[in-house]
Amino acid sequence: MMRTRPLKVALLGCGVVGSEVARIMTTHADDLTARIGAPVELAGVAVRRPDRVREGIDPSLVTTDATALVKRGDIDVVVEVIGGIEPARTLITTALEHGASVVSANKALLAQDGAALHAAAEEHGRDLYYEAAVAGAIPLIRPLRESLAGDKINRVMGIVNGTTNFILDKMDSTGAGYQEALDEATALGYAEADPTADVEGFDAAAKAAILAGIAFHTRVRFDDVYREGMTEVTAADFASAKEMGCTIKLLAICERAEDGGSVTARVHPAMIPLSHPLASVRGAYNAVFVESDAAGQLMFYGPGAGGSPTASAVLGDLVAVCRNRLSGATGPGESAYAALPVSPMGDVVTRYHISLDVADKPGVLAQVATVFAEHGVSIDTVRQQGKDGEASLVVVTHRASDAALGGTVEALRKLDTVRGVASIMRVEGE
């Protein structure tokens, strides 16, 4: 039987995503009612600037007092799309304390304080859903914590930031330099005026923490994620990648150690073979590649940001939470029973592409090879080009630890015949 009393929703934030959430709630009201089993009603919208015109939203619902809104006893679900740490953290906690379930898109907060928020939701018997926090419209959180709950996930590797993928794709396809590609991304609205959070990997690192925590049933915080930006990637790096049959992507990589005793989470640029499914992800799209014991290899692909895609994920969570509300149940909460240690980046084992500027004279290659051997790093291939007394030496290694590679590079810098280390890049996906 259809319930006639509506479920009341409070919306925190009415920017690009929030306004789209409100629009869909209105235009799809009948469908949402049929899918949930009860009407949903927008009961209040908390904003910072109440005088701004918000098309389709009743001005009487707009308030600047977000705290009072989430404390209302008649609110069933609070949707938080304001972002940042505070006041979002306090508002979400207050909402849970006053009986509301929460749907959030706040990756930064969840990566930093997800454990505390989950604990508050459990204490008060309420839901905390956040599909929109990672990869926009792509269904990813729910498949990881529900569809694959009976499987053992070994690796999650993906492109989780559309801005950086657009920039790197432009550099790859047109030969543009980093700044030129960034300028185009900014002009088209893909990059913020201050792109630091994207290009330095902060955004992707927050998402990696969330994904690793869910995939490995272990608490992984933002500070546990190794982060390296992509501002130093050059057109020369792409030329080298093409010679290897690769391209370059900024990847979020979460993986279980081979012995199963620890996990790692990292964000950095990497070369990946053109044969890998992630290599074909173009423009501002996102894609996440999951490897598990039983299901094997899965890839989730789609638009990772923007008002409508992100709102789609928010509304999906809203439907699920409202259904739980009607049935008197709650969905899956935090699963951190494994409590695996998070290993430092020095323990990560992968392949490396190292480009050196060296003197063009006999014996240089032998000196370089000796340094690699002394540090236990095995060389796969070497390519050398020389002209007018100077040369470039490109070394691709077999799998080695980050710590071993770091010691190798430090020793290489001390050689008189090595003028400089032009670039170092990891090689993934093989």
Return the active site residues: 207
Residue 197 has a CB neighbour count (10 Å cut-off) of 16
Transcribe 285-334 into DSSP letters: EEEEEEEETTTEEEEEEEE-SSHHHHHHHHHHHHHHHHHHHHHT------
CA proximity to 236, closest of 190, 268, 185, 271? 271
- CA dist., res. 5 & res. 38, Å (int): 7
Cα 354 to chain centroid, rounded = 26
Q: Which of 226, 229, 210, 228 is nearest to 218 (CA)?
A: 210
Distance CA 292, CA 246 (A): 24
For residue 18, the surrounding DSSP H or E stretch is helix 16-27
The amino acid at residue 230 is: M
Beta pairing, strands 418-427 & 390-397: unpaired
DSSP line for 374-419 = HTT--EEEEEEEEETTEEEEEEEESSEEHHHHHHHHHHHHT-TTEE
- Location of structure tokens 């070394």: 395
> What is the separation of C-alpha 160 from the centre of its chain, rounded to a whole number of angstroms?
4
Of 78, 82, 105, residue with least CA distance to 92: 78
How many other β-carbons are positioned within 10 Å of the β-carbon of residue 279?
Answer: 21
Q: Which token pair is 167?
A: 């920039």
Cα–Cα distance for residue pair 7/325, rounded to 1 Å: 9
What is the Cα–Cα distance from 15 to 81, expressed in whole angstroms?
A: 8
